[in-house]
Structure 1
Amino acid sequence: MNYEGKVYRPWIEADSFLIQTTLGCSHNKCTFCDMFRDKKFRIRDLDDIFRDIDEARTCFRRLRSIFLIDGNVLALKTDFLLKVLNKITETFPEMEKISLYAGLNDLRRKSIDELKQLKAAGLSKVYTGLESGDPVVLECIGKGLTPEQAKQGMAHAKSAGIEVLISIIFGIGGKERSREHIVATTELLNILQPEELAPMALTIQPGTILAQQVASGEFVQATPMQILEEEKYMLENLEDFKMMYWGDHGNNIETLRGMLPAYRDFFLQKIEYAITNNPVTKKEVLLTSPW
């Protein structure tokens, strides 16, 4: 395979084969993210993508799941992405799932008809970073997204029948805006009602704008206790819609994975136990590993 630069995929896609379709991220302005700082966004040549797909066929007798990288692949024109999807399903008739990264704005900018075409061509699920439902936090982290735009993007996905996994970040509001961040995020999630949710604790990535803000004192990190309280608040206040909860990111204080609302009480018991007993709550900063 011809991979360029650092390669990322969600931990949930550990068993999926990766096909690099774009290079970098078309937004690439989030203050907390360094995933694609080493790349300028561009689209790979279609022939190169096809060659990788053909090569994968020679390597695997059966391949059931493919994840398209790099960043927001859904920013591609629909006709181009349809050619990629059709090539995958023609080459791998046994394919069960094709997923990719997308921004909620990418979903919003596609028409429902376009998204339905992509769904029919094999697109199963998109992974998208909401990070926060608080418009102040979204502005501060350079997300380029408003809550209203998030609602529009999710509505398009639901109308097209494309599943959406949303990621949020505990602690992204910092010490001073922890409460506002989690209240607004929970309220927005209750409107969006994604099929899957992947919450993770904030990691300060070296070399990012956020890392500079931490060093200067402009951004004061939320404490581990605040991070646990954010997760507790969210779990207590999410409405009873069916959703897979992937709370098992390596940087989270507690490892929680299961369906909501069925596992809500069990998750809350674990969070409440951690609040009372985990020594990390006595620390000022949660130490996490860069991606």
Structure 2
Amino acid sequence: MNYQGKIYRPWIEANSLLIQTTLGCTHNKCTFCDMFREKRFGIRTLEDIFNDIDEARQLFPYVGSIFLIDGNVLALKTVFLLKVIEKIRSSFGECSKISLYAGLNDFRRKSVSELTELKQAGLTMAYSGLESGHPEILKWVKKGLTPEQALIGMEHAKAAGIEVLLSFIFGLGGKERSCEHIAETTRLLNLMEPEEVAPMALAVQPGTELAKEIVAGEFIQATPLQILEEEKYLLENLTDFNTFYWGDHGNNIVSSKGRLPEHREAFLEKIDHAIATHPVTRQEVLKTFAW
């Protein structure tokens, strides 16, 4: 397999075969992210992608799930992506899940008919970063996305039947905008009703623009207590749409995983217990690991 540069995949895809389809990210400007800083966005040739698929077929007798990397693979032209998916399906008849990274703007820019084609070809799921539902915070972190655009992107995905896991970041509003951040994020999630959600505590990546803002005093990190209170607000105020909650990221203070709304009360009990007893609540900054 011919991987180029740093390779990232969601922790949920730990057992999936990774097929590198793009290099880097088309946006690559978010102040908190350094995943693809060393790469310029590029598209691998179909020949190279197909060679990797053929090699993987020889290496692995069974592949149940495949994840396409790097960054927003859905930015590819639909015809190109259809060829990749069709090659996967013809090579791995046993594969029941094909997923990828996709920006909500990528969903928005494709027509529902294009997305439906991809769904029918075999694309089952996409991972999209929402990060925040607050328009000013989205602008501050240079996400290149508005809440209105996020809604349209989700509408396109739902119309095509492609499941979306939305990730967002506790603490992204900092100390001053913690309440605004989680209130607007929760409000937007209730409108979007994603099939799965993955909240994670803010992890400051060395060398990023956000890290420099912290050193300069332009961004004051939310306290661990505020991060727990954000998660409590989220769980208390999500409406009863059916979703899977991946709250078990390694940087989260409390690990919770399961369906909502069924497990809401159990998750809230864990948060309340942490707020009352966890020693991290006496710290000013949550210590996290770089990605």
TM-score bracket relative to the smaller structure: over 0.9
Cα distance in 2 for partners of 1:6, 1:59 equals 22
Match of residue 121 from structure 1: 121
TM-score by length of 1: 1.00
Deviation of residue 244 (structure 1)? 0.3
Match of residue 33 from structure 2: 33
Deviation of residue 23 (structure 1)? 0.2
Cα distance in 2 for partners of 1:59, 1:124 equals 24
Match of residue 221 from structure 2: 221
Segments of 5+ residues of structure 2 without an aligned counterpart are none
SS in 2 for 1:250: coil
Match of residue 168 from structure 1: 168
Match of residue 61 from structure 2: 61
Query: Structure 2: which amino acid aligns with 1:41?
Result: F
SS in 2 for 1:116: helix
Match of residue 189 from structure 1: 189
Match of residue 279 from structure 2: 279
Match of residue 202 from structure 1: 202
Cα distance in 2 for partners of 1:65, 1:240 equals 29
Cα distance in 2 for partners of 1:206, 1:59 equals 36
SS in 1 for 2:206: coil
Cα distance in 2 for partners of 1:8, 1:289 equals 15
| Alignment deviations for residues 110-133 of structure 1 (CA, whole Å, 9 cap, x no partner) | 000000000011100000000000
Cα distance in 1 for partners of 2:276, 2:62 equals 48
SS in 2 for 1:144: coil
Match of residue 159 from structure 1: 159
Cα distance in 2 for partners of 1:27, 1:75 equals 10
Q: What pairs with 1:88-107 in structure 2 (closer than 5 Å)?
A: 88-107=88-107
Deviation of residue 45 (structure 1)? 0.7
Segments of 5+ residues of structure 1 without an aligned counterpart are none
Residue 269 (1) aligns with residue 269 (2)? yes
Deviation of residue 46 (structure 1)? 0.8
Query: Structure 1: which amino acid aligns with 2:17?
Result: F
SS in 1 for 2:169: strand
SS in 1 for 2:186: helix
Identity %: 68
After superposition, the CA RMSD in angstroms is 0.4
| Structure 1 moving runs of 4+ over 4 Å | none
Cα distance in 1 for partners of 2:157, 2:35 equals 25
Deviation of residue 62 (structure 1)? 1.4
Cα distance in 2 for partners of 1:233, 1:64 equals 37
Query: Structure 2: which amino acid aligns with 1:169?
Result: I
Residue 44 (1) aligns with residue 48 (2)? no
Deviation of residue 59 (structure 1)? 0.8
| Alignment deviations for residues 137-189 of structure 1 (CA, whole Å, 9 cap, x no partner) | 00000000000000000000000000000000000000000000000000000
Cα distance in 2 for partners of 1:174, 1:112 equals 36
Match of residue 4 from structure 1: 4
Match of residue 110 from structure 2: 110
Deviation of residue 231 (structure 1)? 0.2
SS in 1 for 2:99: strand
Match of residue 130 from structure 1: 130
Cα distance in 2 for partners of 1:100, 1:40 equals 19
TM-score by length of 2: 1.00
Deviation of residue 95 (structure 1)? 1.1
Cα distance in 1 for partners of 2:88, 2:207 equals 37
SS in 1 for 2:124: strand
Cα distance in 2 for partners of 1:288, 1:57 equals 37
Deviation of residue 64 (structure 1)? 1.1
